């Protein structure tokens, strides 16, 4: 594809994405499946520019009196970040039509500097999120791997990556983690195919570690999803004991058997529903949430959640916690995780749970968090902040049944 055609494709995709009706990666994947003639280099260019537009949507919106079109957003982004793209608005075959005099005048009227990154947050959330975290999440997420300790060690994987010319380093905090210097298709590499590594953000690794799953325990991952944390728990348990994986949407679990087999995670058992449940040493609830901690990798997500949806999510979380709590053994733990930075979903939710359940007590996670990260936590619960740890945002709380 010529550069002009690639830019026009970005404009068309931006127009489709600005409705924020579904995740951007779903739209992109569907587009590329429908246009298989687009080569890998063109796909990379188009996808990278689309994500760049989405990372600047709040700032670009502030420059207009109405909702921006894909054309306006791409032109303004080009004005600020890469003026070499502006001549591509030339009207040639498959190219964007030339900028009108009105559009040129609008671009000329823009402030000399890009508006501040704190605008990348919906108004209803601004008071609840830290400005530093909002700004930190405007940058792309790193590509982190979790070394599967059931099969190998981190130093071994680093040597194999180096042998293949892939630049990587240890993550700062997780003893399992490896951070790639560049984004590559690691799923095509033998390290992934042979189950030696999984793609998992360092923050997700850290909250998994804080759960303290032990070999020989009976554990359930209550909201397992695709099973990333389930696999991490299995490694912590050395594949000894029993680890159940459940999810209200069972189709999310469809790839977990293959992933578990690849990882050698032989202690994982899938549950098709929540009937006939037992009592467990550890019940891990990675609860559905607004996902405000994941904006680095899903910049469109910040514009897809409403205040009304957030309130519904908080109610759902409480219901899940109450149900999960009834299946914790005496002396066992209920471990609560969100990938949100909202207090209502985190500290407030944990406090409300304790008020409803006098038979549980809070466990202090701060010593373990300090050992892992060197950061002193001020409370018994843990909040992973993107502005401090450069991971996705997470919250974790641990409750012990008396």
Supply the residues annotated as catalytic.
Answer: 339
- Long-range contacts of 256-261, Cβ-Cβ distance < 8 Å, separation of 24 or more: 256/224, 256/226, 256/227, 256/230, 259/198, 259/226, 259/227, 259/231, 260/227, 260/230, 260/231, 260/234
* 270 DSSP β-pair partners: 245
Cα 311 to Cα 340: distance, rounded to the nearest angstrom: 13
Q: For residue 253, give the DSSP letter.
A: G
Distances (CA, A) of 294 to 59, 63, 132, 240: 19, 25, 15, 32
Cα 340 to Cα 256: distance, rounded to the nearest angstrom: 24
Cα 158 to Cα 164: distance, rounded to the nearest angstrom: 10
Cα 6 to Cα 78: distance, rounded to the nearest angstrom: 14
Q: What is the torsional sign of CA 155, 161, 163, 166? A: negative
Residues 6+ apart with CB under 8 A from 78: 84, 85, 86
Contact 392, 297 (CB under 8 A): yes
Q: Which helix (H) or strand (E) holds 397?
A: strand 394-401
Contact 402, 359 (CB under 8 A): yes
Cα 395 to Cα 385: distance, rounded to the nearest angstrom: 9
To 5 degrees, how large is the angle CA 229–CA 231–CA 233? 70
Cα 167 to Cα 209: distance, rounded to the nearest angstrom: 26
Q: For residue 290, what are its two tokens? A: 């607004």
């Amino acid at each position: 594809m010529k550069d002009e055609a690639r830019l026009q494709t970005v404009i068309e995709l931006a127009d489709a994405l600005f409705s924020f009706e579904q995740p951007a990666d779903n739209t992109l994947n569907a587009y590329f499946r429908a246009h298989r003639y687009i080569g890998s280099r063109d796909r990379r260019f188009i996808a990278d520019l689309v994500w760049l537009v989405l990372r600047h949507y709040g700032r670009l919106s502030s420059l207009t009196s109405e909702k921006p079109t894909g054309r306006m957003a791409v032109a303004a982004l080009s004005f600020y970040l890469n003026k070499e793209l502006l001549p591509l608005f030339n009207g040639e075959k498959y190219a964007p039509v030339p900028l009108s005099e009105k559009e040129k005048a609008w671009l000329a009227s823009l402030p000399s500097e890009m508006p501040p990154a704190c605008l990348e947050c919906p108004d209803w959330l601004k008071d609840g999120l830290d400005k530093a975290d909002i700004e930190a999440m405007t940058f792309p997420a790193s590509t982190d791997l979790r070394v599967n300790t059931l099969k190998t060690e981190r130093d071994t994987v680093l040597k194999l990556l180096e042998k293949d010319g892939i630049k990587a380093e240890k993550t700062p905090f997780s003893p399992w983690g490896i951070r790639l210097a560049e984004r590559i298709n690691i799923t095509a590499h033998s390290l992934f195919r042979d189950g030696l590594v999984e793609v998992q953000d360092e923050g997700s690794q850290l909250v998994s570690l804080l759960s303290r799953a032990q070999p020989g325990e009976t554990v359930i991952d209550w909201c397992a999803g695709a099973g990333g944390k389930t696999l991490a728990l299995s490694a912590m348990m050395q594949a000894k004991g029993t680890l159940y994986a459940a999810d209200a949407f069972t189709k999310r679990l469809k790839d977990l058997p293959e992933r578990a087999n690849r990882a050698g995670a032989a202690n994982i058992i899938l549950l098709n529903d929540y009937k006939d449940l037992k009592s467990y040493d550890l019940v891990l609830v990675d609860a559905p949430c607004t996902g405000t901690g994941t904006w680095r990798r899903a910049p469109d997500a910040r514009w897809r959640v409403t205040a009304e949806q957030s309130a519904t999510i908080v109610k759902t979380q409480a219901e899940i916690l109450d149900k999960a709590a009834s299946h914790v053994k005496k002396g066992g733990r209920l471990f609560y995780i969100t990938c949100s930075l909202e207090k209502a979903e985190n500290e407030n939710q944990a406090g409300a749970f304790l008020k409803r359940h006098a038979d549980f007590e809070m466990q202090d996670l701060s010593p373990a968090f300090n050992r892992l990260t060197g950061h002193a936590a001020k409370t018994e619960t843990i909040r992973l902040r993107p502005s401090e740890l450069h991971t996705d945002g997470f919250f974790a709380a641990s409750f012990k049944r008396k």
